[in-house]
Structure 1
Amino acid sequence: MARKTVTLLPQTGSLELDTTGNAVPGDSYYGYTDGIHTVAIYGQALSGRVKIQGTLATNPTEDDWFDILFSGLPYKDYTNFTGVEGFTFVANLVYLRASLDRTSLGISDFTQAGYVEKIFLNY
């Protein structure tokens, strides 16, 4: 049973090409030890690369973040995706964050690439 659901990334991508969300506490921040996290990505005609990153640091710097694997890859690419997709992973993380990257896919016009409606984190 989930203890907490938080917004990992609010609606984004309709006014910018690339963005990274703020650090959000994970289950280890609160002393939980099972490490089970579920992420739900909501897209509206979304084209871009979504990454979920975690850290064990209590005061993370940019170098402390590492990518969480989605089916063996450190990202999930979307092309004109509308809907919701969920992923579950196990990691005892102090903080998590999400990013939307379109530049790496050669997208240069955010107005033609949809947007992330929201990304929820459940643990």
Structure 2
Amino acid sequence: MEISGKVIQALVEQSGNGRNGTWRKRDYVIETGGNYPKKVCVTVWGDKIDQFDLKVGEEVSVGIELESREYNGKWYTDVKVWKVNKGGSPTKGSVVSEPDVTTFNDESGDDILPF
């Protein structure tokens, strides 16, 4: 999955020790463009923090992985970044994985809703 937008906030890097050794993570808030912009908090882990070197104000397109886990009856979702293209993408400022739903007609003008 991929989203594109502008980095509007870089949160403080966090680190700690776990059963697999030390870990680092940094959260960034990306705002998509379009008529209904969304803010998405994404997480970069480990050495990718330095490799991607995201800065506030940059236009980016990020490859993300979604993962949810349950803890004590509550569910938590992570949006992990695995790829970054700086400068956005051809569909800059939009959520690439979502279809365009501005119309409910096909090219010929026929209604495509099943109900």
TM-score bucket of the superposed structures, by smaller chain: under 0.3
More helix per residue: 1
Is the radius of gyration larger for structure 1 or structure 2? 2
**TM-score normalized with structure 1 length:** 0.24
